């Protein structure tokens, strides 16, 4: 299977701060790929690199074999959609209007919306099960509802790569499950989905493959059952865990509360 996203020997940072160096990562086309790691290890930075918002200081970021640095930001936006962690407009907007923003990447710099745009936005809302929210004002929506609307906006962009930043951060168990079900469905339809999260259990359960990121770069990458181990989690998060397996061989992670403190 070909790689949709490749980072090779990438160094990135902001100002004087270097977030990571010499990072390698590969995401296969059509898979739901999870990146897990502790706070501050550079998960969001990774997404910014793939979406071309941040240029690497060294190394190469490629989309389907093409160097991201060679493409314009509009070209990238047509191929890569991002669902950021927290986002809300300054001025009151209806959910459908928010979704329609995604269509701007498919138009010239100035354009009006066509009937086709509106039906695309509506079907994107339908795809994430949020058709009923169409006329609701965005800022009055719950966290889970916002998540869906932003996801619909990303779908509306029409690209084949979807990046999600902590999509379950503010959601309860039910909505966490629903969100990952949705992402799995999108991957099943052929989209490449890259999710960064610190929820090890959920990622291990839902993703096709995982990359574990630690404070000093990639700890392990591959099948969740293979990479989610006591040693890898200790290296990435600095805590003691016990990893069990369920009947299907998927990892179940149990944190040790006592030893997690004071153990770097």
Partner 1 sequence: MTHRARPVTKARFVRVTAVSAVVFAASVAIALALGAERIDLAAVVSGGATEVERSIFHELRLPRVAAAALVGGALGVAGVAFQALLRNPLAEPYLLGLSGGGSFGTVLSIVVFGSATAGAWGRTAAAFAGCLLAIAFVYAVASRGGGLRPSTLLLAGVVANAFFLAGLAGAQFAASPTEAQSILRWVMGGLSAPRAGELWVLGAAVTGGTVVVMATAPQLNLLAFDEETARHLGVDVTRLRRTLFLATSLLTAACVAVSGPIGFVGLFVPHAVRMLVGPDHRVLVPASCLCGAAFLVLADALARTVFAPQELPVGIVTAVVGAPAFVAILARSRGFRETAA
Residues near partner 1 (CB under 8 A): 51, 53, 72-78, 81-82, 84, 87-98, 100-102, 104-105, 107, 109-115, 117-118, 121, 134-137, 139-140, 157
Which residues lie below 8 Å from residue 112, measured CB to CB, with a gap of 6+? Answer: none
- Taking the C-alpha atoms of residue 171 and residue 202, their distance in angstroms, rounded to an integer, is 12
In whole angstroms, the minimum distance from the beta carbon of 75 to partner 1 comes to 8
In whole angstroms, the minimum distance from the beta carbon of 80 to partner 1 comes to 8
In whole angstroms, the minimum distance from the beta carbon of 134 to partner 1 comes to 6
If the CB atoms of residues 154 and 186 are measured against partner 1, the closer one turns out to be 154
If the CB atoms of residues 39 and 72 are measured against partner 1, the closer one turns out to be 72
In whole angstroms, the minimum distance from the beta carbon of 5 to partner 1 comes to 15
Burial of 200 (0-12, 13-18, 19+ CB in 10 A): buried
If the CB atoms of residues 102 and 251 are measured against partner 1, the closer one turns out to be 102
If the CB atoms of residues 28 and 122 are measured against partner 1, the closer one turns out to be 122
- Whose tokens are 């016990």? That residue is 242
Smallest CA-to-CA distance from 45 within 71, 69, 12, 84 is with 12
Token pair belonging to 181 = 């079900």
Q: DSSP state, 103?
A: G
If the CB atoms of residues 163 and 210 are measured against partner 1, the closer one turns out to be 163
In whole angstroms, the minimum distance from the beta carbon of 194 to partner 1 comes to 14
- Taking the C-alpha atoms of residue 221 and residue 210, their distance in angstroms, rounded to an integer, is 6
If the CB atoms of residues 157 and 176 are measured against partner 1, the closer one turns out to be 157
In whole angstroms, the minimum distance from the beta carbon of 231 to partner 1 comes to 35
Please report, in angstroms and rounded to a whole number, the separation of the first and last CA atoms in the chain.
38
**Contact yes or no for 178/144 (Cβ under 8 A):** yes
């Amino acid at each position: 299977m070909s790689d949709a996203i490749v980072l090779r020997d990438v160094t990135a940072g902001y100002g004087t701060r270097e977030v990571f160096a010499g990072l390698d990562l590969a995401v296969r086309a059509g898979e739901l790929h999870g990146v897990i790691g502790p706070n501050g290890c550079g998960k969001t930075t990774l997404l910014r690199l793939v979406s071309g918002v941040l240029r690497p200081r060294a190394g190469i970021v490629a989309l389907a074999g093409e160097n991201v640095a060679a493409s314009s930001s509009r070209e990238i936006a047509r191929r890569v959609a991002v669902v950021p962690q927290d986002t809300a407009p300054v001025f009151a907007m209806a959910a459908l209007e928010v979704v329609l923003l995604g269509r701007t990447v498919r138009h010239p710099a100035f354009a009006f919306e066509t009937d086709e745009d509106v039906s695309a936005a509506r079907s994107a809302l339908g795809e994430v099960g949020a058709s009923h929210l169409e006329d609701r004002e965005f800022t009055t929506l719950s966290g889970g509802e916002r998540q869906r609307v932003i996801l619909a906006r990303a779908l509306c962009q029409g690209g084949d790569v979807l990046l999600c930043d902590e999509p379950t951060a503010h959601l309860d168990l039910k909505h966490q499950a629903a969100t990952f079900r949705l992402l799995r469905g999108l991957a099943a339809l052929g989209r490449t989905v890259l999710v960064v999260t610190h929820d090890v259990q959920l990622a291990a359960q839902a993703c096709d493959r995982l990359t574990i990121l630690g404070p000093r770069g990639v700890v392990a990458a591959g099948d969740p059952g293979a990479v989610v181990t006591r040693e890898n989690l200790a290296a990435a998060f600095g805590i003691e865990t016990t990893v069990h397996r369920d009947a299907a061989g998927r990892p179940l992670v149990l944190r040790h509360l006592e030893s997690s403190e004071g153990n770097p």
